[in-house]
Amino acid sequence: MRLLKVDSISEARKKLLDAASAKVLKTEKVHFAKAMGRILAEDIESEENIPGFRRSTVDGYAVRAADTGGVTESIPVFLDIIEAVEMGKAPTKEVGPGQATYVPTGGMVPEGADAMVMVEYCEAFDETSIAVYEPVSPGRNVVSIGEDIPEGRTFLCKGQYIRPQEAGVLSSAGVFEPSVYAPWKVTIISTGDELIGADEIPAEGQIRDINTYSLSAAAAKMGFEVIDTKVLRDNEALIEEAVKNAMEVSDLVVVSGGSSKGEKDHTAAVMDRLGEPGVFTHGIALKPGKPTILGYDKVSETIMIGLPGHPAAALMVFELMIGWLYRTLTGQKEPIAVAAEITENIAAAGGRATCQLVELIEDETCIGGYKAVPVFGKSGMMTTLTRADGYVMIDTNAEGLKEGGRVKVVLF
Amino acid sequence: MRLLKVDSISEARKKLLDAASAKVLKTEKVHFAKAMGRILAEDIESEENIPGFRRSTVDGYAVRAADTGGVTESIPVFLDIIEAVEMGKAPTKEVGPGQATYVPTGGMVPEGADAMVMVEYCEAFDETSIAVYEPVSPGRNVVSIGEDIPEGRTFLCKGQYIRPQEAGVLSSAGVFEPSVYAPWKVTIISTGDELIGADEIPAEGQIRDINTYSLSAAAAKMGFEVIDTKVLRDNEALIEEAVKNAMEVSDLVVVSGGSSKGEKDHTAAVMDRLGEPGVFTHGIALKPGKPTILGYDKVSETIMIGLPGHPAAALMVFELMIGWLYRTLTGQKEPIAVAAEITENIAAAGGRATCQLVELIEDETCIGGYKAVPVFGKSGMMTTLTRADGYVMIDTNAEGLKEGGRVKVVLF
């Protein structure tokens, strides 16, 4: 039995980031309408002022604010209507003292005018004039040129995850093809003599493979492209051939199973042999997830990770290590977590951090509050995974969690 | 000026749900490997016991628990090793009294044995026997047949959003093609005389359309298929033709712009004319989002929504009405919200609910805590959208929010 010197999560992350920082992150230009879920690889500057003209935020009359000084509900000012601006068209007349132009919401405010009075505060006096019953200050109800985004201003930063709203803003600024990170190409290999394909009938002692599917789905969620998956016997030559082939075409090679001390442990040997410098982390002080292998090959720029065979542990470690790494390399924000009250005492695992699955139940007694109910189950049970909404990390040196204590739940 | 009788959010939702409940939700069979992000349209029952054999959760020895009664670190029991089980294979021998069989993690526990002792508590005595230093109770370190999912048990329910973990569990249970809801086909029409395409250069008074892109991205995020988008002049005949054509092929027709009272208000007229019963909500008591139109056509089973032209309002109302409706019809859970402390007083809008955009900033003083910083900006400004992480709803009759008060932030 080989003794593993395990790393803490932060040691393992530091080594992983150090190694992977040598990797070139490829970028590509993508039309903004197809860019949702992608990560910006450049700061986006506006090449024009937005809006490019003074826009009204209300339906009303463009006026000179000075003309409305001192008006009240009982003492209005009377202004001559000189024009009605149409949407999408420029006004033709400048607003002079004592004059007003009708402008709909989003319409262009004419020269001369410096504020908009809402129709609600105006009354038609006759065909060509209105009474204004409320004073406005200069700039009121008007978005000035460049007030939303001035020309030359960076309005979206490198590392921004593109949501529907960012797609909209890119379109509005006329940025057709922002540069985004090219998805990492990923190969996922699940190893184990007990594994059969999902479409086979298990004989005694056999189970259907889960990890190629759940890890593929997790990789897709991180924005990666899964180019190949394989279910292999726990045979060193088979694994070596598969990893070697994968390294030629993948940014990331994931091998699950076979890295626990009781199993044949080919993954670490293969990754160490094929990579330069090879494996730098032989185990992480994390429950579950101890038998995690991290490595790198600088020739092919391939990141290598050996995950536990246990599906829940494999998914969690994949997120904790690879999800974190990719967000860090691309400058993304960490996802927003949810504060909750834990409903049971959870003992800490001496010398190891613990990743505890929890289910979130709305706490009606408290605005936006949740209770975090620990999800327990014997190692390897799948239903623990589907019952959980997220997980809580308990630090290596923490004393565990006390019932009723506040915890931070990372959604899963 | 036509006076609109507006609905509260809950009145509008009730009418919308009542109308849309008549709509048949189509389903389709999708391979589990392609089902991530889809919604289950059926309860999923297991056709077999999982696991189908007694599995060990540790590397160790399968024993009769009774044999270990009373052993201690100084007084072990000696057992004869009769076999070493290989992964994926069934044991050939039954474990009798005084006997033990080696079983790796995930391997099959032989007949006769009722518990596993971890290797850490065993010591090789000679080639064919071990000393066991810790007592185990029956069932210890063994997952029994069907303990994870018993045959016939519903293990995933209708309405379940399929995450990576659900994809994995479906694969493991051999459910190849679960029934999921077919995505709604959606047509998005953005109207306004000021709008030009994203690839055009705006003249004075013109702006590039945002809503077709941001609403398409939002629809895709909800799991819909956007089959067509159009940017149209604010012309009743054009809008009518487009909506009519869209109704023939769409489950949902979205028209943004043109529903504000100051504008020409063709959307409501068109939807009311083309639909049976037509429009049932002429405005929602919501800031922003008042000029929202809701309608239905029972002949073509088309849901119709008219959204404000203002991009932030359009996105929020789309989520509040259509996102909510689809989750409700398909039985999905509402998304988990985040509790935060609001950093400023926010006045309520008399008689209307308010949807206040906020940015979340981590609060270092509090586990999992966030501060919610209101994002302000003049109506129609796009940058308010990209700065916000989510929104807070202030009820119609609430007094507004007090600085330091606790709020529930819906991520956006």
The confidence score (pLDDT) of residue B258 equals: 62
Q: What's the CA gap between B110 and B118, in Å, rounded?
A: 16
Give whole-number Cα distances, A343 to A213, A373, B111, B380, in Å.
32, 5, 39, 44
Question: Cβ–Cβ of B336/A338 closer than 8 Å?
Answer: yes
Give whole-number Cα distances, A329 to A252, A275, A277, A307, in Å.
14, 21, 20, 21
Nearest to A385 among B169, B202, B309 (CB): B169
Mean pLDDT along residues B323-352: 93
Measured between beta carbons, the chain B residues lying within 8 angstroms of A208 are: 171-174
Q: What's the CA gap between A241 and A91, in Å, rounded?
A: 72
Predicted confidence (pLDDT) per residue in A204-238, tens digit: 999 999 999 999 999 999 999 999 999 999 899 99
Interface check for B346 against chain A (CB to CB < 8 A): the answer is no
The confidence score (pLDDT) of residue A260 equals: 47
Strand partners of residue B408: B339
Instruction: Report percent pLDDT > 70 for chain B.
Output: 97
Helix ranges restricted to H, B141-235: 164-172, 211-221
Residue whose tokens read 């065979």: A309
Predicted confidence (pLDDT) per residue in B1-45, tens digit: 345 589 999 999 999 999 999 999 999 999 998 999 999 999 999
Nearest to A221 among B86, B164, B411 (CB): B164
The confidence score (pLDDT) of residue B198 equals: 82
Strand partners of residue A271: none
Look up residue B80 and give its two tokens: 């004869």
How many C-beta atoms surround the C-beta of residue B383 within 10 A? 19
Per-residue b or e along B323-360, where b marks 16 or more CB atoms closer than 10 Å to that residue's CB? bbbbbbbbebeeebbbbbbbbeebebbeebbbbbbbbb
Strand partners of residue B124: B130
The confidence score (pLDDT) of residue B344 equals: 95
Backbone angles phi, psi at B241, to 5 degrees: -65, -45
Q: Taking 90 as the threshold, does the pLDDT of residue B399 lie above it?
A: no
Instruction: Report percent pLDDT > 90 for chain A.
Output: 77
Residue whose tokens read 């990754």: A271
Q: Which residue is closest to B59 within chain A, CA to CA?
A: A262
Question: Cβ–Cβ of B32/A368 closer than 8 Å?
Answer: no
Query: In which band, very low, low, confident or very high, does the pLDDT at B264 lie, cut at 50, 70 and 90?
Result: low
Predicted confidence (pLDDT) per residue in A275-306, tens digit: 999 999 999 999 888 889 999 999 999 999 99
Selected for mutation to probe chain A from B163, B221, B394 (highest A CB count within 10 Å) is B163
Query: In which band, very low, low, confident or very high, does the pLDDT at A255 lie, cut at 50, 70 and 90?
Result: very high
Interface check for A108 against chain B (CB to CB < 8 A): the answer is yes
Work out the angle between the directed axes of helices B266-274 and B236-249 (0-180°, nearest 10).
40
Query: In which band, very low, low, confident or very high, does the pLDDT at B150 lie, cut at 50, 70 and 90?
Result: very high
Q: What are all long-range contacts of B371-375, with beta carbons under 8 Å and residues at least 24 apart?
A: B371/B340, B371/B341, B371/B342, B371/B343, B372/B340, B372/B341, B372/B342, B372/B343, B372/B407, B372/B409, B373/B343, B373/B344, B374/B342, B374/B343, B374/B344, B374/B346
Pairing of the two strands B252-256 and B286-287: unpaired
As a whole number, the mean pLDDT across chain B is: 92
Reduced to 3 states, what is the DSSP secondary structure of residue B202?
A: coil
Mean pLDDT along residues B156-177: 92
Interface check for B368 against chain A (CB to CB < 8 A): the answer is yes
Mean pLDDT along residues A182-210: 92
Q: Where are the beta strands (DSSP E) in B6-103?
A: 27-29, 44-45, 55-56, 60-63, 77-84, 99-103
For residue B268, what is the enclosing H or E element? Answer: helix B266-274
Nearest to A368 among B193, B337, B389 (CB): B337
Nearest to B207 among A172, A211, A260 (CB): A172
Q: What's the CA gap between B235 and B258, in Å, rounded?
A: 9
Mean pLDDT along residues B81-107: 96
Q: Which residue is closest to B264 within chain A, CA to CA?
A: A104
Q: Taking 60 as the threshold, does the pLDDT of residue A3 lie above it?
A: no
Predicted confidence (pLDDT) per residue in B181-222, tens digit: 999 999 999 999 999 988 888 899 999 999 999 999 999 999
Give the list of residues 6+ apart from residue A127 with CB closer than 8 angstroms, or none: none
Nearest in space to B190 (alpha carbons), one of B210, B217, B172? B210
Query: In which band, very low, low, confident or very high, does the pLDDT at A259 lie, cut at 50, 70 and 90?
Result: very low
The confidence score (pLDDT) of residue B262 equals: 47
Predicted confidence (pLDDT) per residue in A90-106, tens digit: 999 999 999 999 999 89
Nearest to A383 among B155, B369, B407 (CB): B155
Sign of CA dihedral B393, B395, B401, B407: negative
Measured between beta carbons, the chain A residues lying within 8 angstroms of B217 are: 33, 36, 163-164, 167-168
* Residues A374, A344 contacting (CB under 8 angstroms): yes
Nearest to B172 among A201, A220, A382 (CB): A382
Nearest to A36 among B220, B338, B370 (CB): B220
Interface check for A156 against chain B (CB to CB < 8 A): the answer is yes
Give the list of residues 6+ apart from residue B350 with CB closer than 8 angstroms, or none: none
The order of strands in the sheet holding B302-307 is B225-232, B185-191, B252-256, B302-307, B293-297, B277-282
Q: Which residue is closest to A211 within chain B, CA to CA?
A: B168
Q: Which residue is closest to A363 within chain B, CA to CA?
A: B339
Nearest in space to B187 (alpha carbons), one of B233, B234, B244, B236? B244
In this prediction the pTM is 0.92
Question: Cβ–Cβ of A198/B172 closer than 8 Å?
Answer: yes
Question: Cβ–Cβ of A33/B385 closer than 8 Å?
Answer: no
Nearest to A165 among B194, B195, B315 (CB): B315
Predicted confidence (pLDDT) per residue in A128-183, tens digit: 999 999 999 999 999 999 999 999 999 999 999 999 999 988 988 889 899 999 99
Strand partners of residue B116: B62
DSSP letter (8 states) at residue A182: P
Work out the angle between the directed axes of helices A236-249 and A266-274 (0-180°, nearest 10).
40
Q: What's the CA gap between A81 and A102, in Å, rounded?
A: 7
Q: Taking 60 as the threshold, does the pLDDT of residue B230 lie above it?
A: yes
The confidence score (pLDDT) of residue B364 equals: 85
- Concatenating the DSSP letter of every residue in A193-262 gives TTEE-TTSPP-TT-EE--HHHHHHHHHHHTT-EEEEEEEE-S-HHHHHHHHHHHHHH-SEEEEESS-STT
Question: Cβ–Cβ of B366/A168 closer than 8 Å?
Answer: no
DSSP letter (8 states) at residue B88: T
Nearest in space to A130 (alpha carbons), one of A84, A185, A198? A84
Residues found in chain B: 412
Give the list of residues 6+ apart from residue B81 with CB closer than 8 angstroms, or none: B61, B99, B100, B101, B102, B128, B129, B130
Question: Cβ–Cβ of B338/A338 closer than 8 Å?
Answer: yes
The confidence score (pLDDT) of residue A366 equals: 84
The confidence score (pLDDT) of residue B3 equals: 53
- For chain B, positions 264-303, list CB contacts with chain A under 8 A: none
Q: What is the largest CA-CA distance in chain B?
A: 98
Residue whose tokens read 């605005």: A367
- For chain A, positions 173-232, list CB contacts with chain B under 8 A: 173-174, 176, 192-195, 198-199, 201-218, 220-221
Q: What's the CA gap between B282 and B6, in Å, rounded?
A: 6
Nearest in space to B408 (alpha carbons), one of B386, B395, B393? B393
Measured between beta carbons, the chain A residues lying within 8 angstroms of B367 are: 339, 406-408
Measured between beta carbons, the chain A residues lying within 8 angstroms of B407 are: 367-368
Nearest to B149 among A155, A311, A383 (CB): A383
Per residue, the 3-state secondary structure of A334-376, as one string, reads CCCCEEEEECCCECCECCEEEEEEEEEEECCCCCCCEEEEECC
Please report, as a single letter, which amino acid is at residue A329.
L
Query: In which band, very low, low, confident or very high, does the pLDDT at A4 lie, cut at 50, 70 and 90?
Result: low
Q: Provide the shortest C-alpha distance from residue B230 to chain A (in Å).
A: 14
Question: Cβ–Cβ of A88/B192 closer than 8 Å?
Answer: yes
The confidence score (pLDDT) of residue A1 equals: 39
Of B5 and A12, the structure prediction assigns the larger pLDDT to A12
Q: What's the CA gap between B107 and A160, in Å, rounded?
A: 45
Q: What's the CA gap between B395 and B376, in Å, rounded?
A: 19
Nearest in space to A411 (alpha carbons), one of B108, B368, B45? B368
Question: Cβ–Cβ of B194/A106 closer than 8 Å?
Answer: yes
Interface check for B83 against chain A (CB to CB < 8 A): the answer is no
Question: Cβ–Cβ of B338/A215 closer than 8 Å?
Answer: no
Q: What's the CA gap between B64 and B139, in Å, rounded?
A: 10
